[in-house]
């Protein structure tokens, strides 16, 4: 009887210790990382991929905005925690924002420009060694070649990639949105004009 009671006490203590250990630790199930892309031209936010649309760039550097709320698994807000941004592989950010401490509500925000990479991007954050992923967004760029490794310059290789998109739009089949910079559902002369204005820069 004493042995069973001792085992029960040890088990209860272990569970209590586990609960205490989880308190104050960033939790993926209660924290939020909301990511959106802001158009330069009209100041509106692009719809996400779940809306059946993608975010065309209005220039070579549209803006990524991230709102973060950090909580532990008990729903307690975690103030004063340092949060840093994780850039997805294959996308490039010239000026990665410095880490930001959460405020009294456990909130932190980041706004920065991207200028390399095209496709579905999943930005995330790291806080106290815990990585938290945001929602998927679609971002495009004039600097999208080599795919998955933009080189920081809009050059001949990017023009060759854009030309493939341009010619492909004349054939039946799904459109590659990486070349549809004016978001009219086709890759044409309007997109060529936008691309040309950024040639040689990033």
Q: What is the CATH number of the domain that holds 41?
A: 2.60.40.10
Residue 7 resides in a domain = no
- What is the pLDDT, as a whole number, of residue 58? 40
What local confidence, expressed as pLDDT, does residue 202 receive?
55
Residue 115 DSSP SS3? coil
Evaluate whether residue 87 is within a structural domain: yes
Q: What is the pTM of this model?
A: 0.68
Structural domain span for residue 175: 22-197
- Look at residue 114 and tell me if it is in a domain: yes
Is the Cβ–Cβ distance between 102 and 83 less than 8 Å? yes
Stretches in the chain below the pLDDT threshold 70:
1-21, 38-62, 115, 140, 145-149, 168-177, 182-185, 201-202
Residue 8 domain flag: no
Would you say 133 and 66 are in contact if contact means Cβ atoms under 8 Å apart? Answer: no
CA distance 31 to 45: 22
- Assigned domain for 10 exists: no
- What is the structure's pLDDT at 149? 67
CA-CA distance, 93 to 111, in Å (whole number)? 11
- Residues 18 and 70: their CA atoms lie apart, in Å, by 20
Instruction: Give a yes or no: residue 3 inside a domain.
Output: no
pLDDT of residue 174: 47
pLDDT reported for residue 168 = 64
> Please, which residues have CB within 8 angstroms of residue 133's CB and are 6 or more apart in sequence?
28, 33, 122, 124
Query: Is position 92 within any domain?
Result: yes
Phi-psi region of 69 (alpha: psi -120 to 50; beta: other; left: phi over 0): beta
The structural domain count of the chain equals: 1
User: What does the alpha-carbon distance between residue 127 and residue 83 come to, in Å, rounded to a whole number?
Assistant: 5
Kindly state the tokens that stand for 52.
């059946």
């Amino acid at each position: 009887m004493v042995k069973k009671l001792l085992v029960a006490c040890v088990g209860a203590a272990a569970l209590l210790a586990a609960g205490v250990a989880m308190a104050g630790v960033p939790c993926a199930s209660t924290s939020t990382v909301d990511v959106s892309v802001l158009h330069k031209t009209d100041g509106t936010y692009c719809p996400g991929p779940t809306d059946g649309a993608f975010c065309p760039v209005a220039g070579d550097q549209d803006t990524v905005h991230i709102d973060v709320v950090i909580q532990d698994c008990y729903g307690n807000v975690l103030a004063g925690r340092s949060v840093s941004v994780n850039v997805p592989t294959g996308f490039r950010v010239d000026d990665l924002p410095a880490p930001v401490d959460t405020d009294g509500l456990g909130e932190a925000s980041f706004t920065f420009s991207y200028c390399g990479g095209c496709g579905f991007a999943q930005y995330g954050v790291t806080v106290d060694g815990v990585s938290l992923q945001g929602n998927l967004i679609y971002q495009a760029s004039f600097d999208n070649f080599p795919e998955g490794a933009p080189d920081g310059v809009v050059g001949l290789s990017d023009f060759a990639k854009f030309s493939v998109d341009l010619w492909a739009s004349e054939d039946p089949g799904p459109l590659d949105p990486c070349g549809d910079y004016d978001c009219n559902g086709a890759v044409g002369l309007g997109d060529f004009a936008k691309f040309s204005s950024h040639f040689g820069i990033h």
